[in-house]
Amino acid sequence: MFTFQWPWLALLLPLPLLVWRFWPAQQRPADNLPQLRLPATMRVQQAFVQLDFSENTRRLRWRWFLLALCWVGLVVALMYPQWLDKHIEVTQTGYDLMLAVDLSGSMEAADFFTPRKQQITRLNAVKLVLGPFIERRVGDRIGLILFADHAYLQAPLTLDNMAVHTLLQKAVIGMAGRDTAIGDAIGLAVKKLRERPEGSRVLILLTDGDNNAGALEPLQAAQLAKQYDIRTYTIGVGSKGTMFRRGLNERPLKEIAKLTGGAYFSASDLRALTNVYDHIDKTLQKTEAESRVYVQRTPLYQWPLGVAMLTLLILQLLRIYVRDVA
Domain boundaries, the chain: 1-19+54-87+295-326, 92-288
Residue 26: per-residue pLDDT: 63
**Local confidence band at 89 (pLDDT 50, 70, 90 cut-offs):** low
pLDDT band at 133 (very low <50, low <70, confident <90, very high): confident
pLDDT of 88 above 80: no
Q: At 43, is the pLDDT very low, low, confident or very high (cuts 50, 70, 90)? A: low
Q: What angle do CA 38, 44, 47 make, to 5 degrees?
A: 170
- pLDDT confidence of 128, banded at 50, 70, 90? confident
Examine the pLDDT at 31 and tell me if it is beyond 60. no
Query: CB neighbours of 321 closer than 8 A, spacing ≥ 6?
Result: none
Query: In whole angstroms, what is the distance from residue 98 CA to residue 142 CA?
Result: 6
CA distances from 74 to 62, 173, 309 (A): 18, 62, 9
Please give the Cα distance from 252 to 79 (Å, whole number): 65
CA distance to 196, 225, 287, 304, 312, per residue, from 90 (Å)? 19, 30, 14, 35, 47
Predicted confidence at residue 243, as pLDDT, reads 41
Q: Could you tell me which residues come within 8 angstroms of residue 169 by beta carbon, excluding any fewer than 6 positions away?
A: 127, 131
Given a contact cutoff of 8 angstroms between Cβ atoms, the answer to whether 239 and 117 are in contact is no
What is the DSSP annotation of 244-278?
--TT--HHHHHHHHHHHT-EEEE-SSTTHHHHHHH
Supply the pLDDT for residue 319. 78
Its pTM stands at 0.59
299: left (phi over 0), alpha (psi -120 to 50) or beta: beta
* CATH architecture of residue range(s) 92-288: 3-Layer(aba) Sandwich (3.40)
Q: Is the pLDDT reported for residue 187 higher than 90?
A: yes
Which residue has better confidence, 119 or 11?
Answer: 11
Mean pLDDT of 109-122: 77
- Name 100's bridge partners: 145, 205
Give, as one character, the DSSP assignment of residue 198: T
| For range 270-291, the mean pLDDT | 64
How far is it, in rounded angstroms, from Cα 152 to Cα 210?
A: 18
Residues 149-176: what's their mean pLDDT?
A: 89
Neighbours of 223 (CB within 10 A): 16
pLDDT > 80? residue 48:
no
Q: Which helix (H) or strand (E) holds 216?
A: none
Q: Are the beta carbons of 66 and 310 closer than 8 angstroms? A: no
Q: 90-99, 199-208, 284-293 — which is least confidently predicted? A: 284-293
Of all residues in the chain, what percent carry a pLDDT higher than 70?
74
Question: For residue 245, what pLDDT band results from cuts at 50, 70 and 90?
Answer: very low
The answer to whether residues 185 and 151 touch, using CB atoms and an 8 Å cutoff, is yes
How many beta carbons lie within 10 A of that of residue 37, not counting itself? 5
Interval 111-124 mean pLDDT: 77
Tell me what the mean pLDDT of segment 57-63 comes to. 74
Q: Is the pLDDT of residue 37 over 80?
A: no
DSSP SS3 for 83:
strand
Residue 248 has pLDDT above 70, yes or no: no
pLDDT at position 77 is 92
For helices 218-227 and 250-260, the axis angle rounded to 10 degrees is: 20
Position 164: which residue type? V
Residue 54: Cβ-neighbour burial (10 angstroms; 0-12, 13-18, 19+): exposed
Read off the pLDDT of each residue in 304-309 and give the average, rounded to a whole number: 91
Averaged pLDDT for residues 176-204? 87
pLDDT for residue 224 is more than 80: yes
Residue 293 has pLDDT above 80, yes or no: no
Tell me how far apart the alpha carbons of residues 40 and 44 are, in angstroms, rounded to a whole number.
7
